[in-house]
Each structure stands twice: as structure tokens, then as C-alpha cells.
Structure 1
Amino acid sequence: MKIATYNVNGVNGRLPVLLRWLAEARPDVVCLQELKAPEEKFPALAIEEAGYGAIWHGQKSWNGVAILRRGDKPIETRRGLPGDPEDVHSRYIEAAVEGIVVGCLYLPNGNPAPGPKFDYKLRWFQRFAEHAKSLLAAKIPVVLAGDYNVMPTELDVYKPERWVDDALFRPEVRKAFHDVVGQGWTDALRTLHPGEKIYTFWDYFRNAYGRDAGLRIDHFLLNPEVAARLSAAGVDREVRGWEKSSDHAPVWIELDAVPAKRRKSKTT
């Protein structure tokens, strides 16, 4: 199974790019962020014609998340992150797909920091951590994918010294990410590519993509039931160079049908 996450930065404005990538990459499941479209403006028909069923949680001009499934519609299990009924931002949606719970998230940016937006980011992160812990305790296969708006380590940012005061790299945010991972989650991309410089985002300004001045802020966290099936992970970075593309590139993982240990025991 191939699962991807992609911050499209406006699903309608980038629709030709999204459809082209879907046709070329053919992922089985896709998590989208930053739809920037209200519920009724989501391009469900065009996505259906591309071969994908979809669920989405839209919001006018801002935020918005969706989960696509090739050949069928995902079964929605949650809309919105628990813990704050007054938080109406469209930042989390969850679905069951072929025995796996897939959570799609768009974590707040948090800038300027310090300030109210940064405080909201930390509160959201705490709510996310609590929900992740409950999913972990359920002992069912879970994938948490999306734009986390955090560079976990210095390897994940092109010039760390320039980002020390940014909300995506401040110690509190990096600690929050590492605390979630420490519950028992696997950072899929970094696990398979431990020492490599890998970016998922390049700003539109100052020729960031051409200079490869990027950030790794789009992540997959896998619980043990899924991590045992992880066989590949990567970034379709060439998509970032397409005309009128998002400032993010699609990130993907591949899962084997059977965990590695079980496969090994079967062949011995």
C-alpha cells in the first residue's frame, strides 16, 4: 500500500498539479492539507473522475484537510481534533482504510512567536499528543500524516541558525514533536533515511527550490503495528518544480501487506 501526504496550498488553484501527480504516482491513499476551500467548493467530482473517493473538512480561505482513497471512499472515523469544542479550524480528519486508521493533520504554523498564535500551536500540539496516545493504546494500525509545521532536528532545515526564533523550529515545538514520537511512534522518512538531507517544503521566495534551501515539515508517524510493515519512503520533490505547484512536495510511504518479521519466518 502506498500512502502519501501533500499540502496542496489551495486545492482548486492547484487542481491540475494534483490531478497530474495522482495520475503519475498512483498512491492508494492521500492526505491533503491547506485546501483553502469551504465544504461546497471541494472538487470532489474531478477527484472522483481521477479514480479517487474522498472525505474532506473544508474552511473558507484557510486550512482544510482531506483523505482520498483510490477506487473507493474512505470511511470517516473522526472530524476535528478532540479536546477543545471551541476550536473550529479545519485541521484534522481521520478515516479507516483497509484496516488502517489514517489521521490527516495540518498543525498550526504558530508565527509570530512568542504570541497568541504560538500559544495556540502548543495547545493544539498537546491535544494532538493526547489523541495520538489514545490511538497508540488501541493497538490498531495507525498512520498520522500531514504538515506538522516543525523541523525536528537541524538536519531538517537548510540553515538552522536562521530559524532559531521561528515557530517551526523553537525548542518548545521540537520538544513537543519528540515527545509524541517518544510515545512509541516511528518517524517513517527519517527512520529509512537517517543521515540524509531531505526536504519537503521550499519557499516561493529567493529561488529556494533552485538553491535547495528547504525544510522537512511534512511527516509520517507510524505506530508499531504499521512500522513493522514499512518498506519504503520518499519525497516526490520534482513536483515542487512543476508550473503553479504548491510550495510543498508530496511525501509517501510504502507498506508491505505482511510485517517484515512474519515474512522472514515464513521463508525459513
Structure 2
Amino acid sequence: MKIATWNVNSLKVRLPHLLDWLATTQTDVVCLQELKCEDKAFPLAEIEAAGYHAVFNGQKTYNGVAIISRSEATDVVRNIPDFADEQRRIIAATVDGVRVVCGYFPNGQAVGSEKFAYKLQWLEALTTWLRSELAQHAQLVLAGDYNIAPEDRDATVEWQDEIHVSVPEREAFRALLALGLTDAFRMFEQGDKLYSWWDYRMMAFRRNIGLRIDHLLVSDALRARVTGCLIDKAPRKLERPSDHAPVVLSLAAS
């Protein structure tokens, strides 16, 4: 079973890339972020024609998340329960016995800003809710664009002391790990300077000035099934790409 996370930065623009990538990789579950479309505009017909089901939680122009899967998703939850928020950033569902939580974490804008305070509040609410989700679903994966580079090796030097790498954000990431989650990418020996996001400006992708901010955290019960985790840079090389690359988790059969 392959589960991927991909911030597509506009599903309408990136739909051809997504459909080609699905046909090539045969990924079983894909968590999408930054759809930038309302639910009524979600390209369900095209997704279904590709052999996938979809559940989604969108809004106009900003945010939006979806889970597309070969098997039908059940027990769908949209948004963090008991956290008042107009932004559509969370969707969760169970697929083939695995609880999949897809999140588009707040950017935070700048350390100390109002949006940064919102980011930390959102992360705290997410952590509280996930504690109850893990109590109900032993096999769980938290996938998404976290907008957090958890360690220095996950960011080029240009990003040191900036948003995404600040101490409070990294502490919030560690609080998620403390729930009993593991960064699947770091379960394996990886090369140096591996990132999942590169700015469109200043030839950042060509120069490999980036951040590893797209993650798949797996629960202790799911950890034994993990056989690999990689960043697929191929879609980032296409014309008019998303600024993020997909990250793909491989699981052995249960």
C-alpha cells in the first residue's frame, strides 16, 4: 500500500500533473493540500475516471484538503472538532483499515505575528484531537504540508531562524511525535539536502534551496508495516509545477 502527501497549490492548475502521476505511480491513497477550490468545483468526475474515490473539504481561493483513494474512504471527519475555524485545513478518513489524517498546516507568515499565534493554537488543537483519534485508531498516518522543517538538516542555511524553522514550531512538531508518532522519512537512511518544497523565485529548485515541510507521521502500530518513504521530485520538474513535490510512504500488507 502506498500513501502519498502532495500540496498541489491549485488542483485546477495541477490536475493534469496529478492524473499523470497517479497513472504512473499507481499510488493507493493521496492526501492533497491547497486545493484552492470550493467543493462544488472539485474535479470528481476526472478523479473517478482515473479509478479513484475522493472525499474533500474545500474553500474558494485558499486552503482546501482532499483524500483520494482506490478503496472507498469511510468515517470521514472534516476540520478539527471543537476548534472554531473558517479555514478548511483538515480531512480524515479510514481507508483499508488505516486512519488517514490529511492536513494543510497554517503557514504562520512571520514569527511573532498574529498568523503565527494562530498557527500555534491550531497545532495545539490538532495535537489534542489526534490523541483521541489514536485511542480509537491504532493504525494512523498524519500526512500533509506541515509548514515546519523539524530539524536543521531539513532546511537550507538561507532559512535558518525564519518561519518554518523556529523553536516554537519545532516544539509543536515534537509534541506530535510524543503522541506516539514517527517521521516515516527518517526511519531510513536518506541522502543530504533532501527537500519537498522550493520557492518559485531565485531558481530555488535548480539551486536546491528548499525545505522538507511535507511529512507522513505514522503511529507505533503502523510503524512495523513501513517499508520505505521517499520524495518524488519528478513532478516538480514539469512545466507550471506545484512548488511542492509528493512524498510517498510504502506499507507492507497487514
Amino acid at match of 1:36: K
Q: What is the aligned partner in structure 1 of residue 160 from structure 2?
A: 163
CA distance in 2, matches of 1:65, 1:150: 18
Question: Is 1:51 equivalent to 2:51 in the alignment?
Answer: yes
Q: How far off is 1:26 after superposition?
A: 1.1
Task: Give deviations 1:106-154, integer Å, cap 9, x for gaps.
Answer: 0000013211100100000001111222222335210110000000000
Task: Give deviations 1:8-43, integer Å, cap 9, x for gaps.
Answer: 000001111111111111100000000000110111
Q: What is the aligned partner in structure 1 of residue 79 from structure 2?
A: 80
CA distance in 2, matches of 1:199, 1:74: 30
Q: What is the aligned partner in structure 1 of residue 129 from structure 2?
A: 131
Q: What is the aligned partner in structure 2 of residue 264 from structure 1?
A: none
Q: What percentage of aligned pairs have identical amino acids?
A: 43
Contact in 1 for aligned 2:182/2:217 (Cα 8 Å): yes
Listed as ranges, the matches of 1:1-268 within 5 Å are: 1-70=1-70, 72-84=71-83, 86-138=84-136, 140-159=138-157, 162-164=159-161, 166-193=162-189, 196-258=192-254
Amino acid at match of 2:81: P
Q: How far off is 1:197 after superposition?
A: 2.8
- For these two proteins, the number of residue pairs brought into alignment is 254
CA distance in 2, matches of 1:75, 1:220: 20
* Secondary structure of the corresponding residue to residue 12 of structure 2: coil
> What TM-score comes out, normalization by structure 2 length?
0.96
Displacement over 4 Å in runs of 4+: none
Amino acid at match of 1:128: L
Amino acid at match of 1:149: N
Q: How far off is 1:82 after superposition?
A: 1.9
Amino acid at match of 2:88: S
Root mean square deviation of aligned Cα = 1.3
* Secondary structure of the corresponding residue to residue 20 of structure 2: helix
Unmatched runs of 5 consecutive residues or more in structure 2: none
Amino acid at match of 1:163: Q
* Secondary structure of the corresponding residue to residue 169 of structure 1: coil
Unmatched runs of 5 consecutive residues or more in structure 1: 259-268
Amino acid at match of 2:181: W
User: Higher Cα Rg: structure 1 or 2?
Assistant: 1
Q: How far off is 1:194 after superposition?
A: 5.5
Contact in 1 for aligned 2:148/2:165 (Cα 8 Å): yes
> What TM-score comes out, normalization by structure 1 length?
0.91
Contact in 2 for aligned 1:55/1:73 (Cα 8 Å): no
The 1:19–1:139 alpha-carbon spacing in structure 2 relative to 1, beyond 3 Å, is closer
CA distance in 2, matches of 1:107, 1:91: 7
